Structure 1
C-alpha cells in the first residue's frame, strides 16, 4: 500500500495500454493490453469489475466479467446487455461494441507521479 503522502498523477488509460474489442449479440468483449509489463499491476488494481460497471453505467450493463491474462499483461472484460439488443435488434447507429473500447481508453488511472514521468505522451 502506498503512503498517503506519495504524490499521485492521473493519466488516461490510453497512455498505458491499448485495446481491442468485439461483440456478439448483446455482449461486448473488450481487451486491454498494457504497453509495458510494469503497467499491468496498475491496470489490474484499478480496472475492476465494479469500476467498469460504474464507467459504463450509461449503457446499463447487467454484469461485467473480468479475466486476467498475465502472460501477455492483459485484461479481458465481457460486458453483458450493453448493445441495445445487438446489431440486428438495436435502432441506434453504433450497435457494435467497438466504440466502447475507445470510451474505456479514457478511464483515469492513478499512479505515482515519479512513475508517470516515464510514460510517453503519445498524443504528440
Structure 2
C-alpha cells in the first residue's frame, strides 16, 4: 500500500454558488475510480476541509466518466459578498482537494501515467 495525493491519480475542478462549493474529482482509470468509491467518502472530504466546510457534504457518482461530484454546503463563510475570508470563492477547493491523501494498493499505481 502507498499513501498518495489525489493530484497523482486524479484531476479536479471546482466552483461555487452562494455558500455552496461544488468539487468534481475524476479518476485516471476504472480501478482508481473503484478505490475512490470506497475511500473518498463525504466524511473524508469534510474532514479534509475541516474548518472550511461547516455543513453537509453530499457525493454524487458519475461512473461513465470515473467522476465524483461533491457538493459542500456552508463552505464559504456565507458566500462571496458576505465572507471576510481572503479567498471567498470555491475555485481553490479543487486544487486543495488534490492535496488529500489516500492509501492505494501499489499494483493499481503501476498503470498511472504522470
Shorter-chain TM-score: which interval? over 0.9
Give the match's secondary structure for 2:13.
strand
Higher CA-based Rg: 1
CA distance in 1, matches of 2:106, 2:50: 29
Equivalence for 1:3: none
Q: C-alpha root-mean-square deviation of aligned residues, in Å?
A: 1.2
Of residues 56, 75, 82 in structure 1, which corresponds to 2:49? Answer: 56
CA distance in 1, matches of 2:28, 2:97: 15
Note the C-alpha offset of 1:38. 2.1
CA distance in 2, matches of 1:72, 1:24: 24
Give the match's secondary structure for 2:32.
helix
On the 8 A contact 1:21/1:29 being kept in 2, the answer is yes
Which 4+ runs in 1 deviate beyond 2 A? 114-120
Equivalence for 1:113: 106
Note the C-alpha offset of 1:71. 1.0
CA distance in 2, matches of 1:84, 1:68: 26
Of residues 82, 95, 115 in structure 1, which corresponds to 2:88? Answer: 95
Structure 2 stretches of 5 or more lacking a match? none
Note the C-alpha offset of 1:15. 1.1
Q: Number of aligned pairs?
A: 114
CA distance in 1, matches of 2:82, 2:56: 20
TM-score (normalised: structure 2): 0.92
Equivalence for 1:38: 31
TM-score (normalised: structure 1): 0.85
Note the C-alpha offset of 1:28. 0.1
The 1:60/1:29 distance shift into structure 2, 3 A limit, reads closer
CA distance in 2, matches of 1:64, 1:109: 18
Structure 1 stretches of 5 or more lacking a match? 1-7
